A = this chain, B = another copy of it.
Amino acid sequence: MKAYLAGPDVFLPNAHENAAAKIAICAKYGIIGRPPLNEELGDLAQMPEDAAWRMIFRKDLEMMQACDIIIANLTPFRGASADAGTLIEVGWFLGRGKPVFGYSNSAASFATRSQAQIAAMPDPLTDLTVEGFGLPDNLMIPGAVEAGGGLQMILPADGRDRVFDALDMFEACVAAAARKLGLA
């Protein structure tokens, strides 16, 4: 069982150590974790930008095709919602009918985070709706997780935000996915 380890983790300064820790956690639960790092692509800084990003895109898409499930880090990133690239990937797995699992290190509701975002960077128009429903993000995200993997998003049960790169919610998500898939 190969899991695509989506998330803004790739933007961490210690992305490789983080990925190794995630792979080790997955292995405890009988899952092969595949992080979408770029280390096999050569020195991207030496390539024309257009060639570099398309190479990363193709590599990520091929890795998604080779994986059976996605375990997505849906912690908010540079805005009220989860990382943009991760959301494309979650949608792709849902479209393919491959199981979707996801977690967030944020305990705040989407409505609360949206209001904080608007306070810091006002909306371009007034009176744009703030989505409620008590959800952790735009309803398409918990919807994709629930419809795709049959579980709800894993969130801090104690109501406390985790630091951005904490891995306890990730491990809870991997454990829940393994149980759901009959691996544990």
Q: Taking beta carbons and an 8 Å cutoff, which residues of A are in contact with B?
A: 8, 10-13, 49-50, 52-54, 56-57, 60-61, 78-85, 87-96, 114, 116-118, 120-121, 123-125, 127-129, 131-135, 137-144, 146-147, 163-165
Q: What B residues does A8 contact at CB under 8 A?
A: 128
Residue of B nearest to A57 (CB): B143
Known: A56-B139, A131-B11, A134-B49. A88 touches B90 (CB 8 A): yes
B132 near A88 (CB under 8 angstroms)?
Answer: no
Is the Cβ of B53 less than 8 Å from the Cβ of A133?
yes
Residues of B within 8 A of A57 (CB): 139-140, 143, 147
Contact yes or no, B128 A13, CB < 8 A: yes
CB distance from A139 to the nearest CB of B (A): 4
> Which residues of the partner chain B approach A12 to less than 8 Å between Cβ atoms?
125, 128-129
CB atoms of A92 and B95 under 8 A apart: yes
Q: How far is the CA of A89 from the CA of B94 in the complex (A)?
A: 9
Choose from B93, B96, B125, B138 the contact partner of A164 (Cβ within 8 Å). Answer: B125
Q: Considering the complex, give the chain B residue whose CB is closest to the CB of A145.
A: B88
The distance in angstroms between the C-alpha atoms of A116 and B8, with both chains bound, is: 18
Tell me if A141 and B85 are in contact (CB < 8 A): yes
Do the beta carbons of A125 and B165 come within 8 Å of each other?
yes
Please state if B144 and A88 are interface contacts (CB–CB under 8 Å). yes
Residues of B within 8 A of A116 (CB): 121
Given contacts A127-B13, A163-B124, A140 and B54 within 8 Å (CB-CB):
no
